[in-house]
Structure 1
Amino acid sequence: MKTFFNRFKSAIVALSGGADSAAVLKLVSEHLPLENILAVTCVNSHVFRYEIENARLIADTICINWKPFYIDYDDNFIKNGEEKCYYCKKSILAHINIIKESEKFDVIFDGTNLDDLNDYRPGVKAISEYNVLSPLKELRLTKADSFQIVNKVFKNIYFHDESCIATRILNKHIQTEDIVKIEKIEDKLRDTYPGIRVRVGDNIKVEFKKLRKLDKTDIEFLEKIIKFHYADKHIQINY
């Protein structure tokens, strides 16, 4: 680990507010001078607000400068095709790369971990295009390793295993109206039902990344919260 980080004098960390990028920021802070590290976070509407607040708290906890930023959405992201994650990641990294070049940082780090290699992730192509390095992957650290690191340091921050709001929108263009509704719904349900995904298309599909047995009361509660925002849609709960 020392050999890996000592190649660099300064670094930008793409800090999403999740466990992986938080773990990367912590590792970087142990090997580079704190004044030579910058944490940056995209704060567009498709990013959960609680994760943005997490990012601010993470950087503050270990005394790292934090910079929030907005991007211009690529039309191909808005169209919500299979490669939307690539176009989103590309727009984000393009902006971070401008910061890197203008402020003369050596490298951009992201939070890709070893387990991510087992999934199809269109955004990986953008990471390669901008020469972003992934310390967790390079050091063969997994998601479990990330949680082990962050749980020791960020004791007052709760990390969910999250993906952005745009991944919840199916078979139609990404619209601000849906983003706002989905965030309000999941904010009310996330702590009670960890790993919940409320996917919006012609109908509503509710999924759980972590298995949890639901009873009649659970189902009625879920339907009540969702129907408040999507009264005209059929709700399918998968568990």
Structure 2
Amino acid sequence: MTYPFIIPLDLELKFKTLEALLSPYPSFAVAYSGGVDSTFLAWYVQKVLGKRLHAFLVQSPFLGRRERERAQSLAREIGFSLETLFGDPIAVPSIRENSSLRCYFCKKESMTAIKERAHTLGYAAVLEGSHAGDSRSYRPGRRALKELHILSPLATAGFEKSEIREVSRLAGLSNWDLPSQSCLATRIPYGTAITSDLLSRIEEAESYLWEVGCRQVRVRIHENLARIEVTPEDFPLFMEKNTREKLLRRFKELNFAFVSLDLAGYRSGSGDKINP
């Protein structure tokens, strides 16, 4: 197998495992989000293995406009086909009610749609981009992947997030250092019903923080309080009087009565830790 970069010695076995997992299949559909993992997986399947590839992006109120447009731009940049499927998870009671199994029900819904469309188009297998570290955190959606026989080759081959970033950098993928993203529903505590209005307010609040210059952002909701998570390196932004006053005005416009900065900083899955 020919690679456009020299494989780091400590990753040779993982790449051999990845190749062995995927080589038997003639074609693939990939669940694509525009994130580092699914982008690398799509690139690897098409550019390295030379397999027929079709990527699917599920557009729904859970996916912010910023992420959707980035995913579409990356697909054009790399040069693989991307099809958008439209979903309405809020219309599904088991998702809208937002129990601790929301991710399972949501993943089951979206991956079923992708699998059915991929089958119609004649693709041999469906892939998604989970990495090895995902198995060490609360990911109820993994159960849905197993039930639907969706392949997670990066996780199976043992690739960690940091390793995927490094090989993406070596491959010249422009999003190799893109901050990790998750669906907007993860900002809402379990037990709080999900509405289009609430998702829209969260997206607008986070968009404002990106514009201010934050490098990693989550706005987590607790009734009428917005809890801002950013990296500690961005804390000084909130100490500037002008920035702080503008932020408070914007968040008040979005109907948040209280705004707080989480001094622990950004943590992936902190909503799960607060609401196990």
Q: Secondary structure, in 3 states, of the residue corresponding to 2:232?
A: coil
CA contact (8 A) 1:9 1:32 kept: no
Alignment of 1:166-181 (within 5 A): 166-170=185-189, 171-181=191-201
Equivalent residue for 1:160, pick from 170, 174, 179: 179
What's the counterpart of residue 224 of structure 2? 203
RMSD, matched Cα? 2.0
TM-score normalised to structure 1 length: 0.90
1:19 Cα deviation from its structure 2 partner: 0.8
Q: Percent identity at matched positions? A: 24
What's the counterpart of residue 86 of structure 2? 70
Equivalent residue for 1:223, pick from 248, 256, 262: 248
1:51-80: CA deviations, max 9, x gaps? 112221222222211000112422111111
1:84-124: CA deviations, max 9, x gaps? 11111110001011112211211111010011111010100
1:48 Cα deviation from its structure 2 partner: 1.3
1:20-55: CA deviations, max 9, x gaps? 111111111134445x20000011111011211222
Identify which range, 94-103 or 186-195, moves more after superposition.
186-195
Equivalent residue for 2:67, pick from 51, 60, 69: 51
CA contact (8 A) 1:17 1:58 kept: yes
Counting matched residue pairs gives 237
1:219 Cα deviation from its structure 2 partner: 4.1
What's the counterpart of residue 118 of structure 1? 136
Q: CA separation in 2, counterparts of 1:156 and 1:27?
A: 14
Unaligned runs of 5+ in 2: 1-17, 264-276
Asked if 1:236 is matched to 2:252, the reply is: no
Unaligned runs of 5+ in 1: none
Q: Which has the larger radius of gyration?
A: 2
Identify which range, 86-95 or 141-150, moves more after superposition.
141-150
One-letter amino acid matched to 1:43: Q
1:121-159: CA deviations, max 9, x gaps? 010011101111112112211111222233343327872
Identify which range, 114-123 or 158-167, moves more after superposition.
158-167
Asked if 1:41 is matched to 2:62, the reply is: no
Q: CA separation in 1, counterparts of 2:102 and 2:35?
A: 20
CA contact (8 A) 2:165 2:177 kept: no
1:11 Cα deviation from its structure 2 partner: 0.3
Q: Secondary structure, in 3 states, of the residue corresponding to 2:54?
A: strand
What's the counterpart of residue 204 of structure 2? 184
CA contact (8 A) 1:12 1:39 kept: yes
Q: CA separation in 2, counterparts of 1:119 and 1:85?
A: 13
Q: Counting helix residues as a fraction of each chain, which structure ranks higher?
A: 2
Asked if 1:10 is matched to 2:31, the reply is: no
One-letter amino acid matched to 2:223: D
Identify which range, 213-222 or 36-45, moves more after superposition.
213-222
Q: CA separation in 1, counterparts of 2:136 and 2:175?
A: 30
